[in-house]
Amino acid sequence: MFSGAALGAGVLIVAVLFAVAMFLVIQALPTFSAAPADITGGKGFVSYIFPIVVGTLIAAAIALVIATPIGVAVALYISHYAPRNMARGLGYVVDLLAAIPSVIYGAWGATFLASQLKVPYQWLADNAGWIPIFGGPASGTGKTILTAGIVLAVMVLPIIASLTREIFLQTPMLHQEAALALGATRWEMIRMAVLPFARGGIISAVMLGLGRALGETMAVALVLSSGPMIASLIRSGNQTIAAEIALNFPEAFGLRLNELIAAGLVLFLITLLVNMVARWIISRHKEFSGAN
């Protein structure tokens, strides 16, 4: 009976996923058959969605570049360095970061973080303006894709930290003691026994964080001052798919609605692709499972 229930649950999940995919495809179809001049922007769906896809990937990339090293470092500290009592408390605090609603993060980013970052952005524009990503006159309000990326990093951090913490705690004691017995320092032991064992787990944690960063809607919609795709990270501009849908959906009508759902379909496919790549990467490292 349990196997039947488990099978039922599995089938249900696949069925729901399939139903969502079908909804997206059916609602998005009119967009692909419409004349290019009717699509927002007047040049067809690809030229409409491409800048937004790039914006989504940029924001997610910024979030991961910031959150991954910090998350792994926090997890390592909690699992191997911190005194036992403090480790538990620290773990709960980091997990609580995940409990904060994303709207709150958006409000914090828009009102506090953006105004604090105005001065650093101006400094970057003055001193590093020759690098394209720091180019041009800095945004007067600080509400740029970089600010949105930083807010996303804070939101993704607890996911990466708590998952990698659990992985680190599961490192075989045998390997750790063996390394120490051979005279390794604590850091060398971590490098030799913990990190290689946890590599697959770190990648899955990062992929889960990436999934959240790609789909995060309200925080980006509130923080980002959207606009056309630009290379500079410190000027207003760029847009993510989720924020585009959230801002325009209530007023969308007819073909515009189909366009937005087509954008949602594109995001769905990107997330699917990212997850498949992650699974493939993890499967390549399966040989080192700790038993050998």
Partner 1 sequence: MVRNPQTPIEEVNRVKALHIGRVAAVLTVGALALTACGTDNAVTPGNGGSSTSAAAGASVTGTLTGTGATSISAAMDAWKAGFESANSGATVQYSPEGSGAGRKALIAGAVQFAGSDAYMKDAELASAKAKCGAAGAIDVPWYISPIAVAFNVPGVKDLKLDADTIAKIFRGDIKNWNDAAIKASNPSVTLPNLAITPVHRSDNSGTTDNFTDYLAQAAKSVWTDAKSGDWPAALPGENAKGTSGVVKTVTQTAGAITYADDSAVTDALGKVELKVGDSYVPVTAEAAAKAVDQAKPVAGRSANDLSLKLDRTTTVAGAYPAVLVSYAVFCGSYPDAKTVDLVKAFGHYAVSDAGQQAAVSAAKSAPLSAALAAKAKAAIDSITVAAK
Piece of 17-25, 58-66, 123-131, 172-180 that binds partner 1 (CB under 8 A):
172-180
250 near partner 1, rule: CB under 8 A: yes
Residues 6+ apart with CB under 8 A from 276: none
Buried b (16+ CB within 10 A) or exposed e, 172-196: eeebbeebeeeebeeeebbebbbee
Q: How many angstroms separate the CA atoms of 176 and 189, rounded? A: 6
Question: In the stretch 226-245, what mask flags binding to partner 1 with x, by CB under 8 A?
Answer: xxx-------xx--------
252 near partner 1, rule: CB under 8 A: yes
Q: How far is the CB of 169 from partner 1 (least distance, A)?
A: 8
Q: How many angstroms separate the CA atoms of 215 and 268, rounded? A: 9
Of these, 111, 185, 283, 289, which contacts partner 1 (CB under 8 A)?
A: 111
Q: How many angstroms separate the CA atoms of 146 and 80, rounded? A: 32
Q: How far is the CB of 228 from partner 1 (least distance, A)?
A: 6
**DSSP for residue 213:** H
* Size of site (CB under 8 A) for partner 1: 41
177 near partner 1, rule: CB under 8 A: yes
Piece of 12-20, 29-37, 121-129, 248-256 that binds partner 1 (CB under 8 A):
248-256
**CA separation, residue 225 to residues 62, 101, 154, 157, 264 (Å):** 17, 21, 19, 23, 20
Q: How many angstroms separate the CA atoms of 1 and 24, rounded? A: 35
Give me the residue label for tokens 């993704």.
156
Give SS3 for 287. coil
Nearest alpha carbon to residue 67 among 157, 151, 130, 136 = 157
39 near partner 1, rule: CB under 8 A: no
Of these, 140, 288, 289, 290, which contacts partner 1 (CB under 8 A)?
A: 140
81 near partner 1, rule: CB under 8 A: yes
Piece of 10-18, 53-61, 126-134, 168-176 that binds partner 1 (CB under 8 A):
168-176
51 near partner 1, rule: CB under 8 A: no
90 near partner 1, rule: CB under 8 A: no
* Interaction site with partner 1 (CB under 8 A): 40-41, 80-81, 88, 92, 95-96, 99-101, 110-111, 114-115, 118, 139-141, 143, 169, 173, 176-177, 180, 186, 189, 221-222, 225-228, 236-237, 247-248, 250-253
